[in-house]
Structure 1
Amino acid sequence: MAIIQWRPFRDITHWESLPTIDTLQAEMNRLFQQLSPSGNGDGELMAFIPSAELEDTPEAIHLKLEIPGLEAKDLDIQVTDRSVSISGERKSETKTEEKGAVRSEFRYGKFERIIPLPVQVKTDAAHAEYKNGILTLDLPKSAEDKKKVVKVEVK
């Protein structure tokens, strides 16, 4: 990811010509346009972060992530007792035979998402399935967390 230096007053040479609100707004718009995937044709500045859905049942944690356009072999899933890390890379397959421009609004590149889990899970019993762009993870809870009930005294 590139670092962008924001210089909102780069065109000002004298203090008398301080920027107006409109000038500041234009500079902010220019900055956000540079960060957008279609702003200047350099879509690498905005990272792809898969959307996630977590369901906590008495027996397990069920996690679904929306990761379209990949194959199961392109995903790297690592489970610890308190978090899940999903990473991968969406590669561009654009080929042009003639001298022409190609415009793409798809996001390509590496991504990683680490999701903290609300309870401990059995890492060796984790199960994953990837179908139609949806990654589904079933993470059974560890026995100590399933039975864990804490009584809180009220004073």
Structure 2
Amino acid sequence: MRRPELPERRGRGMWWYPSWTGIDKLQEEISRVFDDFASRFMPPVFGGGAVTVDVYRKDGNVIVEAELPGLDPRDIDIKIYEDKVVLRAEKSGAKEVESEEIIRSERYYGKVSRVIALPVEVLPDKAKARYKNGVLTITIPEKEPEEEGGYRIDIEYED
């Protein structure tokens, strides 16, 4: 018995097959549920190295807003791909406290990172970032949807 050929690879790393079109949406929904669940038990912002974000679409752009208070913008590294944004930062400057008894220590110092899946493909080379009042705003133009692959050919016919 002949094995069927693997489907053509397309899009954001998923194997495309007509009956699998909902898998991508299911994966995004599962990720969202886990992110929501984890955010309830992690201290906010830098506690435990978490970065909180909002992602939305506006005027043909994908906007990513990340809370990164107390950081020097030069310590933030942003990499943008067609389907995701990778944020890395390092908050330095932890100070030694000369005390016999520390009452509370909640501020986080160290490295943080976050990979943010985007809802549509974007144009990474056209992205812009702005940092103001502890909020990093990344604006990335959406990629125009392309017509499904293939080549159009003319049909020769005789009358």
State the TM-score bracket (shorter-chain normalisation).
Answer: 0.5 to 0.7
State the Cα distance separating 1:143 from its structure 2 match. Answer: 2.0
Is the Cα contact below 8 Å between 2:127 and 2:139 reproduced in 1? yes
Partners of 1:95 and 1:106 lie apart in 2 by 13
State the Cα distance separating 1:132 from its structure 2 match. Answer: 0.9
State the Cα distance separating 1:65 from its structure 2 match. Answer: 0.5
How does 1:30-41 map onto structure 2 within 5 Å? Answer: none
State the Cα distance separating 1:109 from its structure 2 match. Answer: 1.5
Is the Cα contact below 8 Å between 2:94 and 2:109 reproduced in 1? no
Aligned to 1:56: 57
Partners of 2:108 and 2:99 lie apart in 1 by 23
State the Cα distance separating 1:69 from its structure 2 match. Answer: 1.1
Aligned to 1:112: 113
TM-score (norm 2): 0.57
Aligned to 1:128: 129
TM-score (norm 1): 0.59
Instruction: Indicate yes or no: 2:55 matched with 1:65.
Output: no
Partners of 1:123 and 1:56 lie apart in 2 by 15
Aligned to 1:84: 85
Note the aligned Cα RMSD (angstroms).
Answer: 2.5
State the Cα distance separating 1:110 from its structure 2 match. Answer: 1.0
Once the two structures are superposed, residues 76-98 of structure 1 have per-residue CA deviations (whole angstroms, 9 ceiling, x without a partner) of: 100000000001111243134x5
Once the two structures are superposed, residues 39-97 of structure 1 have per-residue CA deviations (whole angstroms, 9 ceiling, x without a partner) of: xxxxxxx631111111113511011011111010010100000000001111243134x
**Matched letter for residue 124 of structure 1:** D
Partners of 2:126 and 2:60 lie apart in 1 by 12
Partners of 1:107 and 1:55 lie apart in 2 by 27
Give percent identity, aligned residues only: 32
**Matched letter for residue 121 of structure 1:** V
User: Which consecutive unaligned segments of at least 5 residues does structure 2 have?
Assistant: 1-41, 149-159
SS in 1 for 2:48: coil
Partners of 1:143 and 1:99 lie apart in 2 by 59
State the Cα distance separating 1:124 from its structure 2 match. Answer: 0.5
**Matched letter for residue 105 of structure 1:** E
State the Cα distance separating 1:99 from its structure 2 match. Answer: 5.9
Partners of 2:81 and 2:108 lie apart in 1 by 28
Partners of 2:140 and 2:113 lie apart in 1 by 19
